[in-house]
Amino acid sequence: MCWIIFIFLGEGNGLLSNTLFSHSCSFFLALSLLFLIVRFFPRHPSEALRYCRENHVDLVSVHTEGIQRWVETVARNASTDNVWVGLRHTCAQGWIWSDGSNSSYRGWNTGEPNSDWEDTCVQFDSKDEYRWSDVRCVWTDPFVCYEGE
């Protein structure tokens, strides 16, 4: 049995309310109109991408410091130190988000990306203040989807 935790951050009064119930292994955080979801332990990046696109919108794309902070909030509640996001490296396009967009905002950890040809996926690492690290696409950690406009 797994738990989903819905956390709704109230507007104006800043109140926080929680609702718990049994469902699939996911953590949900709702912030205004943006929903970020951490789903636990995909086997492969394509599985995470398919799950996000079929059930939500896509793997999360971080285009601003504000979105970075929201993803950090979600990641703090993950069961592991790392969470996967939708940034990947291709030889033809360089670093692109899973929705095909380019990112001018960068949140790389010191020394990253390290240009290892095998490191084509990106994780947020709690040990490095949720800065980005390029790593091999061997997914044993949760991933973050988004739902919104």
Strand-strand pairing, 2-9 and 26-31:
parallel
Distance CA 149, CA 45 (A): 23
pLDDT value at residue 98: 92
For the structural domain made of 2-147, what CATH number should be given?
3.10.100.10
125-140 b/e (C-beta count within 10 Å ≥ 16 → b): bbebebbbbbbebebe
Largest separation between any pair of C-alpha atoms in the chain:
48
Distance CA 119, CA 98 (A): 16
Q: Which of 121, 118, 71, 73 is nearest to 95 (CA)?
A: 121
Distance CA 13, CA 16 (A): 9
What are 109's two structure tokens? 């950890």
Distance CA 146, CA 74 (A): 11
Residues 134-147 pLDDT 10s: 888 887 788 888 87
Helices (H), the chain: 45-55, 65-75
108 Cβ partners below 8 Å, 6+ apart? 131, 132, 133
pLDDT value at residue 97: 93
Residues 8-35 pLDDT 10s: 333 333 333 333 322 344 444 444 435 5
pLDDT value at residue 120: 87
pLDDT value at residue 36: 59
Residues 73-125 pLDDT 10s: 888 877 788 888 999 988 888 889 998 998 789 999 999 998 767 778 899 98
